[in-house]
Amino acid sequence: MILTLTLNPSLDRTIEIGSLTRGAVIRAAAAHLDPGGKGVNVSRALLANQVRSCAVVPFGGDEGRQLVALLSAEGIDMIPVPVAGATRSNVTLAEPDGTVTKVNEPGTALSPAELDTLGGAVLDAAQSADWVVASGSLPPGVPVDVYADLCRRFTAAGIQVAVDTSGPALVEAVAAGPTLVKPNREELAEATGTPIMCVGDVIAAAGKLRAMGARSVLTSLGADGALLMEDDQVWYGECPVEARRSSVGAGDAMLAGFLAAGARGTRALAEGLAWASAAVGLRGSRMPAPADIDRSAVRIGAPDPAQPLVSGG
């Protein structure tokens, strides 16, 4: 069972527009509402592919009740923890060519007592977990070492921990020795203080994260694919997308696919890439089901350090 913790979940509203013009009144073509937050999405993707998962999720206010209702409707196995502050809403403006502009709210603070309750829920549920996935940003006021603390507890108890977060929380977590981290290009550059312009830069920075404490590093590189570094091995892979609709949730789908396929080596990397590409082809932050996933376009090989990265970072 894969247990996910999302301290800062969201209602994800995706608004489809023709094109983005600052300062204009934009008439939207359509809008979608999805339950969101990184760990929530990992659990959604796993459920859609019949892999057992449970999501620990704080929820508050009308938005929080709506989040829980949407997750229940999807059939997610979850531990919803009521909190005082309202769950945030994140907005994505999606253009027809697949370009997305995201506005993520900071979320509302969790009190120390609420954080203790959430930590207790994770510790209890982790008894029957193979993996604990700690994902997403921290709401205001939450100590930056919260994921690091979980890493230390679980790795000491022999439970594997994956972390997907950003900024100081990622740096702290890496030092606590997680089994796996999944930064994107920007997060990797920020955590290591190095600009990342080519595949060689990714290899150097991922090596730095391993030297800082992470066991395996799965770096997602947007349209450039992904690079996996574990032990002394490095693989690079990509999986082109025919029709891009929304990349929101693609990183979460990648982590879910990677974990579902055993979280090691080329098979897991290929599965992560296939799930991520499928997510990019779906509207909003919909997670791919088996019928959406096409493994035939995945290419895995040795990385070429000189290869420049073309997608944003």
Ligand X SMILES: O=P(O)(O)OC[C@H]1O[C@](O)(COP(=O)(O)O)[C@@H](O)[C@@H]1O
Determine the interface stretch with ligand ADP among 29-37, 64-72, 85-93, 276-284 (rule: CB under 6 A): 276-284
- Binding of residue 100 to ligand ADP (CB under 6 A): no
Q: Which residues contact 167 (CB under 8 A, 6 or more apart)?
A: 137, 144, 187, 190, 191
For ligand ADP, the closer of residues 3 and 241 by Cβ is 241
Which is nearer to ligand ADP, 1 or 198 (by Cβ)?
A: 198
Closest distance of CB 286 from ligand X, Å? 11
Assess whether 149 carries a catalytic annotation.
no
Q: Which residue in 280, 287, 293, 300 binds ligand ADP (CB under 6 A)?
A: 280
Active-site residue (options: 252, 292, 294, 304): 252
The residue within the footprint of ligand ADP, chosen from 135, 220, 246, 285 (CB under 6 A), is 220
Question: How many residues bind ligand ADP, per CB under 6 A?
Answer: 19
285 binds ligand X (CB under 6 A): yes
Cβ proximity to ligand ADP: between 125 and 280 the closer is 280
C-alpha to C-alpha distance for 44 and 71, rounded to whole angstroms: 8
- 43 is an interface residue for ligand X by CB under 6 A: no
Is 221 among the residues that bind ligand ADP (CB under 6 A)?
yes
Give the whole-angstrom CA distance, residue 110 versus residue 87.
11
Is 47 among the residues that bind ligand X (CB under 6 A)? no
Which backbone phi and psi does 98 adopt, to 5 degrees? 95, -5
Which member of 108, 184, 192, 216 binds ligand ADP (CB under 6 A)? 184
Task: With CA atoms as reference, report the closest residue to 93 among 35, 39, 30.
Answer: 30
Q: Which residues are catalytic?
A: 252
**Contact set with ligand X (CB under 6 A):** 8, 10, 12, 36-38, 41, 90, 104, 136-137, 248-252, 285
**Contact set with ligand ADP (CB under 6 A):** 184, 220-223, 225-226, 239-241, 244, 247, 250-251, 254, 273, 276-277, 280
